[in-house]
Chains A and B, each alone.
Chain A
Amino acid sequence: MSTADFKVVLLGSEDVGKTSLMKRYVSDRYHSRPHNNTIGAAFSSKKITSRGRDIVIGIWDTAGSERYYAMSQLYYRDAKAAVVCFDLTERVTFDRAKQWVTELRNQEENCKIFLCGTKKDVIDEGIKPRAVPPEKVLQYSKGIGAQFLETSSKTGENIGALFQIVADSCELPMQKQETIQLQTLKKKNNCC
């Protein structure tokens, strides 16, 4: 049983590319062939170096289907970070993402939220027009205090950066604790 230092949950509507995002990040593949050691692509843990420390993040994929929407709070419970994904070419998915953000804000105050616009390559290649204007998303993300990144699982663009930011921002509370410990030590010294 693999353990992780903290959990990052992927949220988003069906077919926005949550699983692809995770696969891309974990195995650096897009159309991932069945790995010998990967039996499922629902939970993955990956070691990442953040601020000079090796940490293991556990990434939780969720079922995006509408019928399981009610259970999503079970998934993001105690999550350190939530990556809310939406399809840049589908306006509806962005609206759904907003719902999730609101929910998260209400349920898990300590959970850091990251907005992730997926399928950037589709727009870059001109297959589909952009449905969500980036200014709007940026405005929204600023409003909720979340970071926004546009990614492409196909090309791997911004994928590593996304998780690096996630790891860096989640590492902060731990550092605070360390400083607290140091302070207590100092106190001890004073006592002596």
Chain B
Amino acid sequence: MFTKKNPALRIDEADLKCKNGCDFFGNPEWDGYCSHCYYKERDQKKSPSRGESASRGSQDKDSPLPITMAKRFSKFEEKKQQQRQQQEKRNKFSKLASSLRKSTSIRDSGRLPEPWLEQSPEVERIKQEYASQLSSISPEVSQYMNKYIQALCRTVCSDANNMSIDELSEKVQKFYQNLSKCMDAQNINQELKEQVLDYCEKFTMTILYRNLFCPATTTDEEKDLAIQKRIRQLSWVNAKHLDCRINETNKEVRDLVYTSFTDLLGMDSEKAPQDKLQAVVKCCRNIFLLLQSSVGGPASADEFLPALIFIVLKANPARLKSNIHFITRFCNASRLMTGEGGYYFTNLCCAVSFIENMTAQSLSLPEDEFEQYMSGEVVPTSTWDSSVMMYEGISLMYEHLVALDDMHKRADSVLENTDVLMNKMKDLSHQIKIRVDDILAKTQINLSTEKVPTDIDTENPLLELLPPPIAPMVVAPVTQNTPESGKLNSLSEKKSLILPGITKYAFPSDSELDALGADRTPGDGALPLPMSDSQEFLLTPSSTYGFSALDELATPDELCAAQASLNFVQGLSAVNYDIDISDTSADSSAGVSPHPSILSVSENKDGSPETASVPATDPHPDPDPASLLDTSESPTSKLLLPSPMKPVAPEPCSGLDKESFPEEQSSTPVHSQGKLISQKPPEVPTNATSSNYESFTAQGWKIQSIPCDTGTSDLNNTNRTKKPKDDPGKLMYCDLD
């Protein structure tokens, strides 16, 4: 151990002369007096009559006269109170000491008195904490140790009031030295020795804490209050005044500032001096950390000291002076003087000393400004509080900036992605275009886009040119040679006869086309449908498809086409206007058979060969209206053409067709037809009623033949089949077939 110096010499400023100016050395513990003058001063204070004069002599020496009596009196009162407090304390201590003295006999037996230990659970805790280390030392050493501890406790407790704090400090330091020597003699390894010393220090100091910390014999308490007041006065000092490089805007730094506050404040709650010292060390390390992030490297003493001063000023720890004195007096001097803890503690002492002696010069402020701040007349704009508020605002701002940055990035990425997406979409549409073009080139479909929507109601003059569909009534329905597709063929034939163009597109399958073609080429003779049938067919699609199918159409083009086809159909029917359908109706009526349309269908099947032979006299196939064909060419025609099944469903429509002229049918069918066609579109949706059913049945059977063929709508068929049974007209038709 290198520090075997007399501890009394450690008192700083020990060589300062006495305040009174005598040649003796003064001491800060004695308010800067030498011991002689100090006691004289104290004695003077003790007697109230002289105390006033003494206080005036010592305290108000420098203060400018005149002082009001009230002020002086209040000061005097203060002093009195302090003295009273000290007296009380002293009494308490003496009581405690006497109680301890009583138990000396017990302690002499070699053990510490139990009540003593019970009083402080911390002592027990310390014992437990160091139990493992203590068990590893030899019994000899532990015996020595206990002896020393007891001796120390005894002397301190008994003489606490009689000895000055420096004498006590000296005793404690000697105790440490003796222990250390003892362990050196026992050749205990350095580490264990340190631990044992630690234990002894903690143990004794925790026990004696109440006797040694801020004892009544000292003026520590007043000094605490003084420094606290001073710090409060200096609350306006900020980091800039101290040239302190604390980056206040950084959240991390701010947190560290608060952590060091807590560390420094925690010093007071510790009991053992080394724990207090440890608190200081923790605080200082945090300061170094925060300086590191503020300065950007390991901070040097030039940066550290101002920061520490700043922290002390802002934390304003309780009983600061008492704690500092306690550490100086009772902490193991060897630890305090050399190690890291000692360094930080020294810095703390410096900081406190700086705060106590702070002047305008030390803050590099003009004298008057400093005075103004000190008196509270002016508050600097950037005090701690305002800066705290600034912190909040700035930190919020920073957080927001960060958030904004993030959002900016995200927005950018969104924009980028949209660009990418747009490009992709362009590519895709381009590809699709290419592919569509390819497909179009391959399939060579000419889409007639220039179709003009036509008004359904207006009559196309071209349609007038259409040849009258007279032939059907004469000829029996044509059937294909192919028996399997008999039904379909018959249907298609029917259609092909009436609307060659439409059918053509409606049944794109080659075989059927061929069949159609075959039908047509010989077509002149292959028109089997009775006129009524064809009429019906015309009517139904126009009415039902016209609307139902229109609904289904997606594109305007298709719509146009559908309308056009409708138009066409209308046109056809319009042409029919002039045709004498009475014949057909007559024929059909003549060929009334008792069977419903089903029968007719079956007959159709069976009698297909017959129909094939029927001479084609139909004028229909001659497709004079090329325009019509064109219109029917549109894809919509495809939609319309599956029609054979559909017409079934909208019975009312078909019924309606006839509804308007049920009686006239026989007499003037042509006329009725014409009427019907013109009225069809508007009437369709509304006029379907069961009451008119009869009229429907009159010609409805023709429709049924279609669904039957396709075999899709049985229900409808059955419904119909029942009704038409009564109708003689159908039977007639069947016969005809």
Contact = CB atoms under 8 A, between A and B. Distances in A.
Interface of A: 1-7, 14, 18-19, 23, 32-35, 38-43, 45, 58, 60-65, 67-68, 70-71, 73-75, 77-78, 80, 107, 173-174
Interface string B648-680: 000000000000000000000000000000000
Nearest to B277: A1
Nearest to B347: A42
A142 B576 CA distance: 143
B353 A2 contact: no
B301 A63 contact: yes
A1 B292 contact: no
Given A63-B302, A74-B350, A43 B340 contact: yes
Contacts of B304: 40, 42, 63
B496 to A, nearest CB: 96
B344 A43 contact: yes
A174 B4 CA distance: 11
Contact of B350 (A3, A19, A71, A78): A71
Contact of A1 (B3, B10, B278, B354): B278
Interface stretch (B331-339, B379-387, B605-613, B706-714): B331-339
B298 interface: yes
Contacts of B278: 1
Contacts of B371: none
Q: Which of A14, A35, A71 has the largest number of chain B CB atoms within 10 A? A: A71
Nearest to A70: B357
Contacts of B335: 3
A43 B280 CA distance: 14
B366 interface: no
B12 A73 contact: yes
A74 B3 CA distance: 17
A26 to B, nearest CB: 10
B285 interface: yes
A2 B350 contact: no
A80 B2 contact: yes
A39 B3 contact: no
A73 to B, nearest CB: 7
A63 B362 CA distance: 14
Q: Which of B277, B285, B301, B362 has the largest number of chain A CB atoms within 10 A? A: B301
Contacts of B343: 7, 42-43, 58, 60
Contacts of B12: 73-74, 77
Given A39-B288, A75-B346, 5 more contacts: A3-B335, A40-B284, A40-B291, A41-B298, A68-B350
A6 B341 contact: no
Interface of B: 2-3, 5, 10, 12-13, 15, 243, 277-278, 281, 284-285, 288-289, 291-292, 296-302, 304-306, 335, 337-344, 346-347, 349-350, 353-354, 357, 361-362, 364
B3 A2 contact: no
19 contacts: A1-B277, A3-B338, A3-B339, A4-B338, A4-B339, A4-B340, A5-B2, A7-B337, A34-B296, A58-B342, A58-B343, A63-B305, A70-B357, A71-B350, A73-B12, A74-B12, A74-B353, A77-B337, A78-B10
B340 A1 contact: yes
Contacts of A18: 300-301
Contacts of A34: 292, 296-298
Nearest to A177: B4
B69 to A, nearest CB: 37
B338 A71 contact: no
B10 A62 contact: no
Contacts of A77: 10, 12, 337, 346
B339 A78 contact: no
A143 to B, nearest CB: 23
Contacts of B2: 5-6, 80, 173-174
B339 A42 contact: no
A50 to B, nearest CB: 13
B298 A62 contact: no
Contacts of A3: 335, 338-340
Contacts of A7: 337-338, 342-343
Nearest to B345: A74
A78 B5 contact: yes
Q: Which of A18, A33, A70, A77 has the largest number of chain B CB atoms within 10 A? A: A77
Contacts of B361: 67
A48 to B, nearest CB: 14
A78 B302 contact: no
Nearest to A58: B338
Contacts of A38: 298
Nearest to B284: A40
